[in-house]
């Protein structure tokens, strides 16, 4: 097996209804797509990354959730490419792996059908919608879910369980996790500013991303899944180890898995939540491996934290950086904040608006979640 390739991908979020518009809106310093909303927690205004585009309707009540509407929107953007793959492979040999944390928990609360709240509901929906008969599963490991979905998909391909895997992540703004973050006192009433001295919490977002993974590249713009690193902390269920020991180990494992050196990485998409503890952990982890040598940014200050979809959504943005059909001028995704770096953190190189690279060949995506779950993925535009 020569490798695993992303041969097609799509995404939707508050930044736009397709990956190209999302990418260019992220580059624009004048753009602001976060919404101040006092209806999620009644009477208390918080910023959210809410999708404004019209989403497709689903008739089957077993799958009629906002998450699945987001997922179907992503599918429709790459429907032709997926249908082409389905003509090549038996329907029992195409897998579906979808990351989520919310699934249909709000719809379950309203309608009482427990199937709506199953973590595997989005994967089951897409499998049924496409008439597939092979492997499918949901992945839920907090904020690392999107990269864990890629890890599962890669194993399905490498062990010859599947010839292709449709992999992605999806989450909607749901009251249940929002209430949870509010109770932890890390939900911000201001726009999140990761790594700032003045940071004070997270904004919640929603979004989805979908990828077609195959064993061979099918176009000049195919993107290689170069490596994945996964570790677990045994520190605290909701607070990361401030030293970032296992987080940096996940970075090192991703480099080892890819056969790359730290100097090969051209950009890092940071987990960058904007909480005091998470940013401290990640700054320590990144600095331990890279120092201040690699341009890095968090896109959560633009999309909000999309929970189980966050790492998948950010992987799509990483793909856009590598995709020559989108990013012809080698732009890096900027880091939006107030430009007051926290001097208590080790210095990492945050990307400025308009910053470009001479060439972009390899990018890294970090994801660190509750329960000490750490996952890092490297993608390459070979």
Catalytic residue set: 143, 271, 305
- Maximum separation of any 2 CA atoms in the chain, in Å: 56
d(CA 286, CA 291): 7
Is the CB of residue 320 less than 8 Å from the CB of residue 22?
yes
d(CA 74, CA 68): 10
Number of Cβ within 10 Å of residue 143's Cβ equals 28
What is the DSSP secondary structure assignment for residue 134, as one 8-state letter? S
Is the CB of residue 317 less than 8 Å from the CB of residue 351?
no
DSSP 204-240: EE-EEEEEEEESS--STT-EEEEEEEEEE--S-SSS-
d(CA 143, CA 134): 27
What is the separation of C-alpha 353 from the centre of its chain, rounded to a whole number of angstroms? Answer: 21
Is the CB of residue 100 less than 8 Å from the CB of residue 117?
no
d(CA 45, CA 258): 44
d(CA 250, CA 320): 23
């Amino acid at each position: 097996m020569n490798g695993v390739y992303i041969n097609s991908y799509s995404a939707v979020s508050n930044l736009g209804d397709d990956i190209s518009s999302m990418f260019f809106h992220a580059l624009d310093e004048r753009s602001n797509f976060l919404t101040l909303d006092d209806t999620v927690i009644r009477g208390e205004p918080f910023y959210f990354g809410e999708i404004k585009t019209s989403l497709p309707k689903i008739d089957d009540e077993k799958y009629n959730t906002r998450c699945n509407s987001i997922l179907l929107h992503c599918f429709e953007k790459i429907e032709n490419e997926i249908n082409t793959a389905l003509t090549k492979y038996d329907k029992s040999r195409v897998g579906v792996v979808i990351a989520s944390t919310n699934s249909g928990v709000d719809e379950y609360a309203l309608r009482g059908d427990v199937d709506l709240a199953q973590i595997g509901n989005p994967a089951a929906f897409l499998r049924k919608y496409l008439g597939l008969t092979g492997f499918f599963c949901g992945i839920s490991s907090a904020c690392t879910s999107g990269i864990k979905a890629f890890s599962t998909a890669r194993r399905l391909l490498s062990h010859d369980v599947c010839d292709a895997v449709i992999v992605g992540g999806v989450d909607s703004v749901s009251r249940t996790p929002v209430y949870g973050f509010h109770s932890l006192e890390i939900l911000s009433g201001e726009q999140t500013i990761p790594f700032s001295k003045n940071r004070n919490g997270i904004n919640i977002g929603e979004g989805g991303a979908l990828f077609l993974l195959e064993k061979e590249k099918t176009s000049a713009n195919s993107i290689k899944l170069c490596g994945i690193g996964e570790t677990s902390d045994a520190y605290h269920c909701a607070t990361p180890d401030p030293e970032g020991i296992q987080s940096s180990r996940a970075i090192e494992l991703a480099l080892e898995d890819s056969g790359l050196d730290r100097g090969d990485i051209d950009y890092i998409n940071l987990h960058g939540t904007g909480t005091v503890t998470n940013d401290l952990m990640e700054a320590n982890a990144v600095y331990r491996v890279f120092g201040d040598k690699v341009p890095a940014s968090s896109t959560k200050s633009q999309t909000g934290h999309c929970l189980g979809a966050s790492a998948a959504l950010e992987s799509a943005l990483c793909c856009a950086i590598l995709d020559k059909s989108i990013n012809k001028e080698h732009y890096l995704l900027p880091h939006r904040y107030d430009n007051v770096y926290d001097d208590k953190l080790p210095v990492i190189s945050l990307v400025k608006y308009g910053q470009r690279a001479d060439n972009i060949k390899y990018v890294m995506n970090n994801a660190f979640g509750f329960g000490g779950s750490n996952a890092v993925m490297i993608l390459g535009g070979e």
